[in-house]
Chains A and B, each alone.
Chain A
Amino acid sequence: MNGDKSILSILVDNEPGVLSRITGLFSGRGYNIESLSVAETMEPGISRITMITRGDKHIVEQIKKQLNKLINVIKVLDFTDQRHVLRELALIKVHARAESRAEVLRIVDIFRCKIVDSGPDHYTLEVAADEDKLSALLNMLQPMGIKEIARTGSIALVREMH
């Protein structure tokens, strides 16, 4: 995984097979996908794919052009060098026995997470954050023992200028 991280936002026709056209393009040409998330936009029939990819300038240029070439791709936006907000949602199930419950709650408070499930020896945390904050949180929780994690991959939008 060489080169810088790029954040691409790809508007596509919401049709079966479109995602596999995109992932197939990446596997077939040896490009790298770091994260990928897809959902419909406000406009029915159009989906937004947020993709984090890595590569040197030349490769990212090719990626953008190759994506644009796909018939079902309506627009490829590169947010990398634009002011943007970026979030990833994670659910983290962490060990929380008597001796560490208070510590977990403290961390939850500091990171403004939500506890969405709890049991005799676990809490499940919900957090929406960018990658830095998420990894800081995971670092803090590590000593408690993380049981399971589910992450969505990043989504992003450009910040409006006022």
Chain B
Amino acid sequence: MELTGAQILWQSLKDEGVDTVFGYPGGAVIDFYDALVQYDINHILVRHEQGAVHAADGFARASGKVGVCMVTSGPGATNTVTGIATAYMDSIPMVVITGQVPTSLIGNDAFQEVDIVGITRPCTKHNYLVKDITKLERIIKEAFYIARSGRPGPVLIDIPKDVTNSRTLYQAIQGVHMESYNPTYHPNTKQLAKVVNLIKEAKKPIIFTGGGVVLSKGSEALTKLAQRTNIPVTGSLMGLGSYPGTDEKLWLGMLGMHGTYRANMAISDADLILAIGVRFDDRVTGKTDEFASKATIVHVDIDPTSIHKNVTVDVPVVGDCRLTLEALNQLLDDEDPAVIGPERTEWLAQIKKWKDTNPLGYNQKDCETIKPQYVIEKLFELTKGDAIISTEVGQNQMWAAQYYHFAKPNQWLTSGGLGTMGYGFPAAIGAQMAFPDKVVVDVAGDGSIQMNIQEMATAVQNKLPVKIVILNNQYLGMVRQWQELFYKKNYSQTDMTHAPDFVKLAEAYGAAGFRATKPDEVEEVLKKGLATPGPVIMEFMVSREECVYPMVPAGAPITNMLLV
């Protein structure tokens, strides 16, 4: 069957099971948009290309599928870079399609021409410039295969306009094999046997879970492993939800710079760390020389470059997290339950002691202004912990991580690696597209929300009932916190007092807006906001100088915590 390049693209997307694309048209992709009407695919028109990429990212994180977005050449393409880098750092499967000027004009500084393949080389898992229409279908197949396999990541396909509107045979290619790309899924069995022995011998073991467990759909196997071995679990920011955050007995909370006291102390005192699908980011390890110095470290990761990159590992296991955890569970089936899962009375009692001495906490009772932590806790209560939560970046993100307890994977969408302000709202739009009936809430700060606020129009136009909780402290809160603690309160350029009236802004976009200024209004505003159909902004005027605690100063050992 002979089709145009534009038709081949849509047909190939359908072959890959794509039903939703986020995008923004322009001259170089006009043929794609022209052909779109012939295909049964939802297209969400965003208001800025950055919004399209984050939305595709949020869609991918919530659904576990590949997120897809389409933009035009030149500025359309460059506007995606932040979103691509965000997805790359967090290993999110995504295909980004960019239009390009016709092949005859490439290199001529043509109108809206940019070398996007060159620009995105360091922040994509792979990228393509399609110079020949006969290669288009295979390239799209490869792109999806690369994006979702191994350690997932964003793949960009740059398609010149003449490739889009010429014709060739569409072949419905099945399957892809690439000689130079063969991820290792199955772990080495000898290494696994070592891990089993270490579990049997350990007195103070701890599991450290990360985004890889979520991405590989390994949560169930991880939970089984932890509970049968009685090993407490901590997680990286990206690992939240991979183990039930509601398990009082074994869940320690997040690790690292804003991790819990018990998690940081426990990992520093542990004799065995089972690190699964984590990459030992500096926000987790603090000073690496002093990180987990008493422990034997087992590190499971599908990406060999993650192993030994930041910390020295004793037992490296290259493999898919889910398959590795399942294989471990199988090996443990042959072991004596009393040996692999003893009560661990002393170890768990020690952890409880740490928890009791320095629990997460804040004092709303004696405070006349709203505490941001209180808003998150109420949000958790009212949504019964069942909402999909996306966040912006900064204090709002850390409070959401600390006070919304994620029981399941894929309900926590946050820019962990790149730390992208403006991520949360478009990501929430993407997640809401994947799950129209779920409650999706973007937890935002007054600074971050202004970075992609234009997507209000996208939410309203598509009747996406995304809820936005703005914790408004009229500051760039996290930078202000650093200035307070480490820069002698020199609040240079972090005052954000001049901001739009967010309630009116919501209304201007055709959405609803509510505001709480006193603690006793918090619950009412949340209830009203969650019950109101369509997109809603809920603005909470919170204590201006509230800080995120605990905190480990950057580069310090993680036991060196500022507690309040």
Given A17-B117, A20-B118, A28-B122 in contact, is the A71-B305 Cβ separation under 8 Å?
no
The answer on a CB contact under 8 Å between B308 and A72 is no
Given A13-B180, A58-B308, A71-B126 in contact, is the A20-B303 Cβ separation under 8 Å?
no
Taking CB atoms, residues of chain B closer than 8 Å to A28 are: 122
Taking CB atoms, residues of chain A closer than 8 Å to B117 are: 17
A34 within 8 A of B: no
B309 within 8 A of A: yes
Residues of A near any B CB (own CB < 8 A): 12-13, 17, 20-21, 24-25, 28, 58, 61-62, 65-66, 68-69, 71-74
The answer on a CB contact under 8 Å between A21 and B121 is yes
Minimum CB–CB distance for B310 against chain A, Å: 10
The answer on a CB contact under 8 Å between A74 and B180 is yes
The answer on a CB contact under 8 Å between A20 and B121 is yes
Q: How far is the CA of A65 from the CA of B308 in the complex (A)?
A: 11
B515 within 8 A of A: no
Supplied contacts A62-B308, A74-B179, 15 more A-B pairs, CB within 8 Å:
A13-B180, A17-B121, A17-B129, A20-B121, A21-B121, A24-B122, A25-B122, A62-B309, A66-B305, A68-B304, A69-B304, A71-B126, A71-B178, A71-B181, A74-B180
Task: With a 10 A CB-CB cut-off, give which of B178, B305, B308 has the most chain A CB atoms.
Answer: B305
The residue that A69 contacts in the complex, of B178, B179, B305, with Cβ under 8 A, is B305
Residues B164-203 near A (CB distance < 8 A): 178-181
Could you name 26 residue pairs across A and B whose Cβ atoms are closer than 8 Å? Answer: A13-B180, A17-B118, A17-B121, A17-B129, A20-B118, A20-B121, A24-B121, A24-B122, A28-B122, A61-B308, A62-B305, A62-B308, A62-B309, A66-B305, A68-B304, A69-B303, A69-B304, A69-B305, A71-B125, A71-B146, A71-B178, A71-B180, A71-B181, A72-B180, A73-B180, A74-B180
Query: Chain A interface secondary structure, helix, strand, loop or mixed?
Result: helix
Minimum CB–CB distance for B13 against chain A, Å: 21
Taking CB atoms, residues of chain B closer than 8 Å to A66 are: 305
Minimum CB–CB distance for B505 against chain A, Å: 39
Minimum CB–CB distance for B131 against chain A, Å: 9
Q: How far is the CA of A20 from the CA of B126 in the complex (A)?
A: 13
Taking CB atoms, residues of chain B closer than 8 Å to A69 are: 303-305
Query: Which residue of B has the minimal Cβ distance to A13?
Result: B180
Taking CB atoms, residues of chain A closer than 8 Å to B118 are: 17, 20
Minimum CB–CB distance for B320 against chain A, Å: 16
Minimum CB–CB distance for A77 against chain B, Å: 14
Minimum CB–CB distance for A75 against chain B, Å: 8
Residues B95-141 near A (CB distance < 8 A): 117-118, 121-122, 125-126, 129
Taking CB atoms, residues of chain B closer than 8 Å to A12 are: 180
Taking CB atoms, residues of chain A closer than 8 Å to B304 are: 65, 68-69
Minimum CB–CB distance for B415 against chain A, Å: 20
Minimum CB–CB distance for B311 against chain A, Å: 11
Q: How far is the CA of A116 from the CA of B179 in the complex (A)?
A: 43
Minimum CB–CB distance for A73 against chain B, Å: 6
Q: How far is the CA of A25 from the CA of B124 in the complex (A)?
A: 12
Minimum CB–CB distance for B197 against chain A, Å: 26
Minimum CB–CB distance for A63 against chain B, Å: 10
Q: How far is the CA of A24 from the CA of B124 in the complex (A)?
A: 12
Task: With a 10 A CB-CB cut-off, give which of A21, A65, A74 has the most chain B CB atoms.
Answer: A65
Minimum CB–CB distance for B483 against chain A, Å: 29
Taking CB atoms, residues of chain B closer than 8 Å to A17 are: 117-118, 121, 129
Q: How far is the CA of A62 from the CA of B310 in the complex (A)?
A: 10
Given A20-B121, A21-B121 in contact, is the A65-B181 Cβ separation under 8 Å?
no
The answer on a CB contact under 8 Å between B178 and A65 is no
Q: How far is the CA of A71 from the CA of B308 in the complex (A)?
A: 21
Q: How far is the CA of A8 from the CA of B38 in the complex (A)?
A: 51
Minimum CB–CB distance for A115 against chain B, Å: 41
Q: How far is the CA of A73 from the CA of B126 in the complex (A)?
A: 12
Q: How far is the CA of A69 from the CA of B305 in the complex (A)?
A: 8
Task: With a 10 A CB-CB cut-off, give which of A58, A61, A68, A71 has the most chain B CB atoms.
Answer: A71
Q: How far is the CA of A24 from the CA of B122 in the complex (A)?
A: 7
Query: Which residue of B has the minimal Cβ distance to A25?
Result: B122
Minimum CB–CB distance for A19 against chain B, Å: 11
Q: How far is the CA of A62 from the CA of B279 in the complex (A)?
A: 14
| B17-56 interface code vs A (CB 8 A; 1 in, 0 out) | 0000000000000000000000000000000000000000
Minimum CB–CB distance for A64 against chain B, Å: 9
Taking CB atoms, residues of chain A closer than 8 Å to B181 are: 71
Minimum CB–CB distance for B497 against chain A, Å: 39
Taking CB atoms, residues of chain B closer than 8 Å to A74 are: 179-180
| B204-247 interface code vs A (CB 8 A; 1 in, 0 out) | 00000000000000000000000000000000000000000000
